[in-house]
Chain A
Amino acid sequence: NAGVTQTPKFRVLKTGQSMTLLCAQDMNHEYMYWYRQDPGMGLRLIHYSVGEGTTAKGEVPDGYNVSRLKKQNFLLGLESAAPSQTSVYFCASRRDSRVPRGEQYFGPGTRLTVT
């Protein structure tokens, strides 16, 4: 199993450009999450999904959109990138609420720079 994979690994965008980050998991997990990690800020939740076709806002959703058309994929979109969105983006998945541990499995991250 590959676990959680993210595409691309690195990207440089100009202000105002758009892009989509792709997260894929092969563990048949129900729940998926997008975080951003910034120095001194820790991990902050952007959006999450509790099942195919569902999405919900996290702590810092502004400027981002998400879609979960297939159970195994969770897409994060930036419609008009801003320098404040320069960050490392992590996707994570969790099996479901029946697993009491609440363990989230993380992908390797996407390093995004907006100039």
Chain B
Amino acid sequence: QKEVEQDPGPLSVPEGAIVSLNCTYSNSAFQYFMWYRQYSRKGPELLMYTYSSGNKEDGRFTAQVDKSSKYISLFIRDSQPSDSATYLCAMSHYTGANSKLTFGKGITLSVRP
């Protein structure tokens, strides 16, 4: 079993839809959870960050972590064509010098006008 599993997609939704993106993980030591957004032919950029369990909201984006189920989600409200990108979840045990991020494979989202 991979440490981080992410639905491979792709996912296509109409403009204005609510989008739910999910990752599951197997390692209970993960404490820091991130969502990166990657536009085509660009590098990933940090979209949301959450420590431990709980929700975090930033505009149309909400990140949710359920450590008891080892499950994280990213919700996008009122999705826009500009949200079309690949979304990667990432997580780490700690933030020390030798900490590393473990990434999901990413899911490609297309928002149709």
Question: Which A residues have a C-beta under 8 Å from some C-beta of B?
Answer: 4, 30-31, 40-45, 48, 50-51, 56, 58, 90, 92, 96-97, 99-109
Contact = CB atoms under 8 A, between A and B. Distances in A.
Contact of B42 (A50, A58, A100, A108): A108
Interface of B: 6, 8, 32, 34, 36, 41-46, 49, 51, 88, 92, 95-101, 103-106
A50 B42 CA distance: 25
A42 to B, nearest CB: 4
Contacts of A109: 41-43
Given A4-B43, A44-B103, 18 more contacts: A30-B97, A31-B97, A42-B106, A43-B88, A51-B97, A99-B95, A102-B92, A102-B95, A102-B99, A102-B101, A103-B34, A105-B45, A105-B46, A106-B43, A106-B44, A107-B43, A109-B41, A109-B43
Contacts, number: 63
B44 A50 contact: no
A96 B8 CA distance: 32
Given A42-B103, A106-B43, A50 B98 contact: yes
Would you call the interface of chain B mostly helix, strand, loop, or mixed? loop
Contacts of B32: 101-102
Contact of B104 (A42, A45, A48): A42
A82 B45 CA distance: 29
B44 A42 contact: no
A48 B96 CA distance: 13
A48 B98 CA distance: 9
Given A42-B104, A50-B97, A56-B98, A101 B49 contact: yes
A97 B41 contact: no
